[in-house]
Chain A
């Protein structure tokens, strides 16, 4: 096991870190305040090739590995969790299933613009009564001639509203339960496909979370991704990889909050000395740093396994579980270190704490991660 990044990974890390600090960080607070993303940042990321990192150059990607992708999401999330999830949901939840399960035509038509960043992607899986129980999707897809007719709603869809391309998991045969599901590629603007409610959230407020409404939405047969009956399987495989992206996001949030708290503890003086001179605070900082390192090793290892075509389901669940709980804990401690100031909008840590919470919930709650890990252990 090599604990050193390659020269390319180091240069990528530095490049994304510089970009995040100079271009994204100055906008993060305002985007969070207004619940509005500054899409010029997406255009810049597309130009840099951050929108298709792990896909081959033939499909418009950067041809880099999953570890590089995880590092990029981490560095972006360090300054803006909303930007981290924008890239992560786009890449892991929409581009990846098309890459993995798509036909050559589908890849050329959809994966290329997604990887190049000219189109933004999203995954439509969750429904009002299908959260952790993702297999019980109720949105129906009924065949009719050359098309399928979609009816139903999806909620809490990240990048919803803005995304151009959606991978939708639908039920094609209720009697077969999750074995009677299929995945479809649906483009924004397709008649019968509209957006419902925009969610106002605790955190990642600049990330668009929308309800998708399908009313007799007709989708060509060719837009089915993979085979009929594979929908749920595709969703699970997608979430396995998406987990690494979210784990990287959580890691980045934790690191960003820690960096802020460390600096502040050196500058802020009380009782005639910097607060970092107090052992209580030193121990807090030590614990924060140690947990972040542990999270990092789990995240990077999961990415490494995926890169080496080895099973990574258990490891990615461990990474997501640990990194997200770490992010929640570290950001809470960071606010504590900032004291009263940390509770105000003047400093970014309150936003980081609000941002951290969702990482324990989406793309498989911590409870679901534990189920996955245990299932792997008890195989």
Chain B
């Protein structure tokens, strides 16, 4: 029984989490001596089978149809669920992205199986796929299995499994399947793209984030300057969002996004537990805050007690100099 990876893609490229899943999936497939397959759904996406193979897929199920050009819940659910009913994989793993969350829940119910979402750990224990996932906004974790229902379904948090090395020349067998999306009730009327050259928050390796201490929307410019030098994403705490300084899409925290960057630089953020819930799993946390008693210093690996308006520009300069060398 094969392990399947849902191959999410965007703008003609495979998403990083898809590659992370393949790397982990390859490990598991080898341990279980099973096949690793990727499911690629869309329109004109055949070229993506190449990198899928390089990252470890043995097989790629290619489901193409004009009606599948844009993701729709009904269309993609119909295709993935039908494919799974026919080929009966032992597991289907998806990235816990907007699309992955949406798709996984529908498919899991259609297949009458269990689903574990936003997993941060995936191991084989006693021959069972064992998942670790955060609960209570990461204040606790649960280890869980789906003992009987098949396929086992899970969505995995981006940026936690790690990326393996692609093997140039390794290719997967592409199997074209009939992609019948059926009646798609979601009609897309409009798509609004926020143009940004910065990485997406949930995928970024480095995040520069601002809170109440930023004192106003225009001051986020100094964080953007730092982000530009570091190739980072810019985030915010709830205080900055509620004050109307930045959009909700930038919020990191319990009622915002959960991020796992390598480096999280918190500027003027007190570190309320609801915020920590969203970034507590960052590998390295830097805090810059005027208040020496700020809670964020309890979890920061490096802290500067000082005025962020004086510290951040100097930091930007220093990194710029370092990059130039």
Chain A positions within 8 Å of B, measured between CB atoms, are: 264, 267-268, 341, 346
Contact = CB atoms under 8 A, between A and B. Distances in A.
Contacts of B291: 346
Contacts of A268: 293
A236 B298 CA distance: 54
7 contacts: A264-B293, A267-B293, A267-B295, A267-B298, A268-B293, A341-B293, A346-B291
A268 to B, nearest CB: 7
Return the 5 tightest CB-CB contacts between A and B, nearest first. A267-B293, A268-B293, A267-B295, A341-B293, A346-B291
Contacts of A341: 293
Contacts of A267: 293, 295, 298
A90 B93 CA distance: 61
Contacts of A264: 293
B245 to A, nearest CB: 14
A246 to B, nearest CB: 33
Interface string B225-243: 0000000000000000000
Contacts of B298: 267
Interface in B86-101: none
Nearest to A22: B242
A257 B298 CA distance: 24
Contacts of A346: 291
A204 to B, nearest CB: 26
| B291, B293, B295, most chain A CB atoms within 10 A | B293
A94 to B, nearest CB: 34
Contacts of B293: 264, 267-268, 341
A36 B134 CA distance: 45
Contacts of B295: 267
Interface string B273-305: 000000000000000000101010010000000
B291 to A, nearest CB: 7
Nearest to B239: A26
A274 to B, nearest CB: 11
B202 to A, nearest CB: 27
A271 B205 CA distance: 37
B229 to A, nearest CB: 32
B3 to A, nearest CB: 46
A346 B293 CA distance: 11
A341 B291 CA distance: 10
Nearest to A346: B291
A8 B293 CA distance: 38
A25 to B, nearest CB: 12
A235 B95 CA distance: 70
B253 to A, nearest CB: 15
Nearest to A338: B293
A341 B298 CA distance: 18
B82 to A, nearest CB: 47
B203 to A, nearest CB: 32
B91 to A, nearest CB: 43
A236 B238 CA distance: 48
B216 to A, nearest CB: 15
Nearest to A347: B293
Nearest to A264: B293
B212 to A, nearest CB: 9
A267 B272 CA distance: 12
A318 B165 CA distance: 76
Nearest to B295: A267
A335 to B, nearest CB: 15
Interface string B171-195: 0000000000000000000000000
B238 to A, nearest CB: 11
Interface in B250-267: none
A316 to B, nearest CB: 39
A229 B313 CA distance: 73
B39 to A, nearest CB: 45
A264 B292 CA distance: 13
A341 B293 CA distance: 10
B298 to A, nearest CB: 8
A299 B295 CA distance: 35
A267 B299 CA distance: 13
A115 to B, nearest CB: 31
Nearest to A268: B293
B276 to A, nearest CB: 14
A346 B270 CA distance: 13
A270 to B, nearest CB: 12
Nearest to B212: A26
A272 to B, nearest CB: 14
A26 to B, nearest CB: 9
A347 to B, nearest CB: 9
A128 B290 CA distance: 46
A125 B291 CA distance: 45
A267 B298 CA distance: 9
Nearest to B292: A341
Nearest to B291: A346
A264 B295 CA distance: 11
A302 B298 CA distance: 45
A189 B315 CA distance: 59
Nearest to A341: B293
A267 B293 CA distance: 8
A315 B291 CA distance: 44
A11 to B, nearest CB: 22
A268 B297 CA distance: 12
